[in-house]
Amino acid sequence: MHAVPMKQIPLALALDEPPRLDNLIAGANRVALAHVQQALQQGDLPGTPTYLWGDKGSGKTHYLRAIRTALQEQGMAFGWLDAQTTRVPEFDMQWQAVLLDDVDLFDAARQHTAFNWFVNAMTPAEGPPRWVVAAGALPVADLPVREDLRTRLGWGQVFGLQPLSDADVAQALRQAAQQRGLVLGDGLLAYMQTRFARSTGSLMALLERLDAYALQTRRPLTIALFRQMLNEETTETH
């Protein structure tokens, strides 16, 4: 059996379960989380925009997807636009919110759509203003988008998100494991955090893979099982 190299390995798989606000570890982002939770709990969504920004791993997309899940569960219609969206609908007056992810990556066409959605949401032909929630990797002043869109994204609440600390990531992993009925020992947890890419999403995806492998082999989660899984995956790719 070959040894697994001790290096940072990026893993970018998505969890089956959609992100949710009620199991999100806020870390240093408690004010941003409280703002979003209050907005979704007060009955009527805010009529002013919210902008979340931060480096990769800060959780901004997680926040937006968790908001999307909450809106879906409350039966609210909304528009979603990100840098990968291919089929872009016209603004719908039935929407109660507009969610814009990765705005710093929007091309000219998406910037045009985002501006159109923003104007229709803030000054609709009928009904109250809709909630616009946007996320990007840069503060508003540095966004490489058209000026009329950039300035509007900064009209409301702006939150700079910080990546989770190692302790916060560990708490998130333990919580995710517990929800899956798994026992994630301190040794395995430390092994995962020190040898693999430390973004929460990557580690959560790794936990999902390990869970599936443990079910397949009918063995508990251990470092030995973890190494066996990686060795088998390495063999399959060569």
Tens-place pLDDT, residues 153-201? 999 999 999 887 788 788 878 888 887 888 888 898 888 888 776 667 7
Q: Which of 48, 28, 47, 26 has its CA nearest to residue 37? A: 26
Identify the residue with better confidence: 167 or 57.
Answer: 167
Residue 180's pLDDT is what?
81
The Cα–Cα gap between 162 and 27 comes to 8
Establish how many alpha carbons lie within 13 A of residue 56's alpha carbon, considering only the half-sphere containing its beta carbon.
Answer: 6
Per-residue confidence (pLDDT) for residue 32, from 0 to 100: 95
What pLDDT sits at residue 10? Answer: 35
Percent of the chain with pLDDT over 90: 51
Name the more confident of 15 and 238: 238
Weakest mean pLDDT among 28-37, 68-77, 190-199, 211-220:
190-199
Asked whether 120 and 91 are in contact (CB, 8 A), the reply is yes
* pLDDT exceeds 90 at position 94: yes
d(CA 30, CA 113): 31
60 vs 103: CA distance, rounded Å: 11
Q: What is the DSSP letter of 84?
A: T
First vs last C-alpha separation in the chain: 14
pLDDT computed for residue 234 by the predictor: 78
Q: Which band of pLDDT confidence, cut at 50, 70 and 90, is reported for residue 230?
A: confident
Whether residue 125 contacts residue 93, with contact meaning beta carbons closer than 8 Å, is answered with yes
CA 19/CA 64 separation, integer angstroms: 9
Coil, strand or helix at 160:
strand
CA distance 62 to 30: 14
| CA–CA dist 179, 142 (Å, integer) | 39
Are 152 and 15 in contact by the 8 Å Cβ rule? The answer is no
Closest to 29 (Cα-Cα) out of 203, 163, 153, 158: 163
Number of C-beta neighbours around residue 10 at 10 A: 8
Altogether, the residues listed in the chain come to a count of 238
Extract long-range pairs of 122-129: CB within 8 Å, 24+ residues apart: 122/47, 122/49, 122/152, 122/155, 124/93, 125/93, 126/93, 127/93, 128/44, 128/47, 129/47, 129/48
Q: What confidence score (pLDDT) does residue 199 get?
A: 67
